[in-house]
Amino acid sequence: MKTQLLLSIAVMGLLFAGAFTEQVIAHPGHEHDAGHVAMPAGSRTWKDASGAFELQATFVAVADKAVQLRKADGTLISVTLDRLSAVDQQWVTQRQAQIRRLNTEGIGGKQTPVEVAADEDDAEPTALAANDAPASARKPGEPEIHSHFQPFAESLKLRWDDDYYYIGSNGMPDHPMMIGIRAWQQQVPLPQKYYDDNAWRIPLKPKPAAEPASAKGRFLRGAIALAVNGVPIFNPLNNRGDDAYLFGELDEWGGHCGRGDDYHYHIAPVHLEKTVGKGNPIGYALDGYPICGYDEADGSKVEGLDWLNGHKDADGNYHYHATKTYPYLNGGFYGEVVERDGQVDPQPRAQPVREGLPPLQGAKITGFTTPKPMSYLLTYEVEGREGTVGYTLANDGSVAFQFTDPSGQRTDQTYSPRARGPGGLAGGAGRPLRRGDDRPPPPGQRPPRSGQGPPRPRVDVPMPGDGADDVPAPRSDLPQLKVSSSAFGPGENFPKEFTCDGEGVSPPVEWSGAPQGTKCFALSCWHVAPDQEKSYWVVYNIPGDATKLQKNSQGVGRTGINDMRKAAYEPMCSKGPGVKKYHITIFALSTEPKLSPGPATRANLLAAIKEITLAEGTLTYQYQRAVQE
């Protein structure tokens, strides 16, 4: 009979089949404390068969003839059973028998999944019911919310103070991801550092708001809730205000990746009830109130939900419920929250290692697997042709990608994290594919520029928690050009003639203040949307004695590729509501960048000029498309 371990803990199934090493396999991005770390109760000394290696760790699980162990700093390692000493192999065999017996006999004759931990004396383990944590069983001072996250405690860092419950997570669930998505922006799931000061926090004493806030048309950025497995839950409406589920943007589990390669759900993760138990919370809204499944705890139909998808129980405790139609989970906030820049504030930030990419039209994700520890393979189809994105995580935070497009061409690229200001803004260009041009363009890195002084805290890469439309802060070590336009001023509305509703020609741009040694200029017209960075106009090799580009400029410098894969100016043509900010940046360069017209995208331009930029300046303006009759 096949041995199956029914554990109430969520353990990532990343197992090494090699020698007994201390390589981290479950929590890439997990930040460990330096110095001495006290060993937790239940730890023991493990030895390899030769006796040459010892490790202090606690037992977690056995799967596929590999033993998973957790060190004091929280890292998870794995070693094949036959590599352990005879004493350790016997200990594991006995522990497996204990787990089987407990899962077969249960507690008091009731079959119940159990959590088993080794104690210091290797005595009989203590069995804990996975889904039954009444207040009377909690330790003194332990908040009720703690029991709701306990089924996934092995993959989370949990703590609390008087006001908040903190959840540290890498944001990676233990189920397959991305499969079934029909509207894909070419992101893939990467572990995030939602730990320590960047951890999720839930109010322990939620307060009803004087005026509850709706999430319809608001809170379209960042998370509005957190699942009990540590995966954030975003507004069911995407940043355009559309239903993400109905638009085919979500996988079989109701999730997908943001432009920071951060995985998150957009609808209630009711599948978690299989782990936490029927009726127990599957998540918490960021106002502090729990989110439960489709039914009440006794299996009865949910009745009397308010416009926020919530109601009070018999004891007067408010909670939200999942529904199969919009709003799917909390339709807003019954409790008090702070709204800033279109999201709940504060909340953790994702930390991407590459740029967000544009959608790949016609693509459908058909597979997502883990071929080996720390490696993933995403498979997609475009018009019946298959492409793949394979990637491997390294302990230093870098990610090695292998892109195989539907034509069969493979391109490799490694991206490394580069901290750039609060929240870990990172550089590195993406590798967009577009229908009709399935071949990835040559790689284009966009790391911070080197030079004197601190790195410039740009906002070129927005993430959950950032103001997507902020103007990039000027570098203190570079002279600033003065950039202007005779057609509009800084912060003014963009004239209609330069948009898709007018002539659609490029606007006039002027600049001054170029330093001595300027050989040429480059121009980039761009906009940072909540879901991606957009490029409308790229011009480079503008003569060094030039001070402006005329309206509908032609033949001055070389025109690069915009997001529509055209060597031209792309007029603004916003489809979403509200005023948006756009930027025109001029770069003064010491020499001509080494670019050819084909791959001269904004990302590749920034990479090519990072060492030759003498000065730069940005003109920011706003644009709101008039309502079309």
pLDDT tens sequence across 324-339: 999 999 999 999 999 9
- Has residue 462 got a pLDDT over 60? no
Per-residue pLDDT of 558-590, as tens digits, reads 999 888 888 899 998 876 667 888 999 999 999
Domain co-membership, 116 together with 228: no
Domain co-membership, 66 together with 204: no
Rounded Cα–Cα distance for residues 227 and 222 (Å): 14
Rounded Cα–Cα distance for residues 440 and 460 (Å): 22
Residue 328: which region, alpha, beta or left (left: phi > 0; alpha: psi -120 to 50)? left
Rounded Cα–Cα distance for residues 17 and 519 (Å): 57
Quote the pLDDT of residue 403: 94
- Has residue 474 got a pLDDT over 50? no
Per-residue pLDDT of 285-334, as tens digits, reads 999 999 999 998 888 899 999 999 999 998 899 999 999 999 999 999 99
Quote the pLDDT of residue 531: 54
472, part of any domain? no
Compute CA distances 232 → 268, 324, 368, 436, 604, whole Å: 11, 19, 20, 34, 32
Mark which of 321, 344, 367 sits at the end of a domain: 344
Rounded Cα–Cα distance for residues 282 and 279 (Å): 9
pTM over 0.75: no
Quote the pLDDT of residue 564: 83
Determine the structural domain holding residue 491 and report its residue range. 478-629
Domain co-membership, 162 together with 311: yes
Nearest alpha carbon to residue 220 among 307, 322, 332, 353: 332
Q: At 83, which amino acid appears?
A: R
Q: Half-sphere exposure of 125 toward its Cβ, with a 13 Å CA cutoff?
A: 26
When pLDDT is cut at 50, 70 and 90, the band that residue 115 belongs to is very low
What token pair was written down for 96? 């497996």
Rounded Cα–Cα distance for residues 558 and 539 (Å): 6
Domain co-membership, 115 together with 209: no
Domain co-membership, 32 together with 172: no
Q: Which residues pair with 159 in a beta bridge?
A: 166
Domain co-membership, 95 together with 235: no
- CATH code (residue 496): 3.90.280.10
Mean residue pLDDT across the chain? 77
Strand residue runs (E) in 469-606:
482-484, 509-512, 520-528, 533-543, 548-549, 558-559, 580-589
Mark which of 344, 369, 391 sits at the end of a domain: 344
Query: Once rounded to an integer, what is the mean pLDDT over residues 34-57?
Result: 63
Mark which of 328, 344, 360 sits at the end of a domain: 344
Q: Computed from CA positions of residues 30, 33, 36, 42, in that sequence, does the dihedral angle turn out positive or negative? A: negative
Domain co-membership, 37 together with 167: no
Rounded Cα–Cα distance for residues 354 and 561 (Å): 19
User: Percentage of the chain surpassing pLDDT 90?
Assistant: 49
Residue 149: which region, alpha, beta or left (left: phi > 0; alpha: psi -120 to 50)? alpha
What token pair was written down for 408? 């069969």
Using alpha carbons only, give the angle 457, 461, 465 rounded to the nearest 5 degrees.
85
Compute CA distances 443 → 355, 439, 549, whole Å: 12, 12, 29
Q: At 435, which amino acid appears?
A: R
Quote the pLDDT of residue 467: 34
More confidently predicted of 113 and 38: 38
Query: Contact at 8 Å (CB) between 15 and 63?
Result: yes
Using alpha carbons only, give the angle 398, 400, 402 rounded to the nearest 5 degrees.
160
- Tell me 72's DSSP state: T
Query: Contact at 8 Å (CB) between 169 and 156?
Result: yes
256, part of any domain? yes
Query: Once rounded to an integer, what is the mean pLDDT over residues 509-525?
Result: 94
Residue 180's SS3 state is: coil
What are the DSSP calls for 291-341, one per residue?
Answer: EE-SB-TTSPBP----TTSEEE-TTS-EEEE--SSTTSS-SEEEE---EET
Domain co-membership, 61 together with 153: no
Strand residue runs (E) in 572-612:
580-589
Domain co-membership, 123 together with 168: no
Residues 6 or more apart in contact with residue 50 via CB below 8 angstroms: none
Q: At 410, which amino acid appears?
A: R
Rounded Cα–Cα distance for residues 592 and 518 (Å): 10
Per-residue pLDDT of 123-162, as tens digits, reads 333 222 333 344 445 677 899 999 999 999 989 999 999 9
Nearest alpha carbon to residue 561 among 600, 522, 506: 600
Query: Contact at 8 Å (CB) between 188 and 388?
Result: no
Domain co-membership, 209 together with 90: no
Quote the pLDDT of residue 95: 74
Domain co-membership, 76 together with 170: no
Compute CA distances 435 → 359, 383, 492, 564, whole Å: 9, 9, 36, 11
Q: In total, how many domains does the chain have?
A: 3
Mode of pairing for the β-strands spanning 290-292 and 318-321: parallel
Task: Name the residue with tokens 């400029």.
Answer: 553
Compute CA distances 283 → 87, 169, 174, 329, 581, whole Å: 42, 14, 16, 10, 35
Compute CA distances 146 → 105, 152, 554, whole Å: 27, 11, 64
